[in-house]
Structure 1
């Protein structure tokens, strides 16, 4: 079990890193929690239409990045005030309670 904290705050770098880890690492016996933050951006899911999900001209005017992640899900806003967490673990070993405990311990180590 490992915790990887990205030093980047660039959404494109962080999504690429998340995708690279997913495609290239073996998580059968090694679980990873990736923690990351981004500068202001809007992230849409794999099948979403950015013109329906976000005010694209507004984002462009304010130089707010618009990115698409490889997973599904809704549109979300990120900035340095929120913490993004990705768990890499086999589906059959996914344990929500354990993952929440892992987050709690990591936060306690960092801020406790």
Structure 2
């Protein structure tokens, strides 16, 4: 298994979404990719969600908050620069809870961020989700 770690310096949510989708298409064999990024204020919606049902597009537009569609399923998520995203991309049989915990810890180590991983795979700094 080979682990590659990518950090985006961009905070453009559309750009970061495009990078994640490109990495998803590039992974093969027994490679795992960890991709970390932060977004400017945005609401990210799943591929099948109707933005008029899950958020208020006119209000978001008036507040200069973009709506960005993910290529994956899931709910609407508000993000800003206080939120760090990490996508683990690879074969599902490699991505066990133990492997994911190790990847998360190893990913933040070069950033000099000491994390713990909760039972539901959230990264904690000083026992807090937000860091």
User: Do the structures match in fold with TM over 0.5?
Assistant: yes
Please tell me whether residue 19 in structure 1 is matched to residue 17 in structure 2: no
The residue number in structure 1 matching 2:12 is 10
1:68 and 1:26 map into 2 onto residues whose CA distance is 21
> Structure 2, unaligned stretches of length 5 or more?
114-131
Alignment size in residue pairs:
111
Q: Report 1 or 2 for greater relative contact order, CA contacts < 8 Å, sequence distance ≥ 6.
A: 1
Larger helix proportion of the pair: 1
1:104 shift after superposition? 1.9
- Structure 1 length as normaliser, TM-score? 0.91
Q: Residue 26 and residue 104 in structure 1: after superposition, are their counterparts in 2 closer, same or farther (change >3 A)?
A: closer
**Contact in 1 for aligned 2:27/2:90 (Cα 8 Å):** no
The structure with the greater share of residues assigned to strand is 2
CA contact (8 A) 2:45 2:74 kept: yes
User: Please, what is the CA RMSD of the aligned residues?
Assistant: 1.2
Moved over 6 A (4+): none
Q: Does 1:86 align with 2:87?
A: yes
* Gapped regions of structure 1 (runs ≥ 5): none
Distance in 1 (CA, whole Å) between partners of 2:74 and 2:64 is: 24
CA–CA distance in 1 between the matches of 2:50 and 2:10? Answer: 26
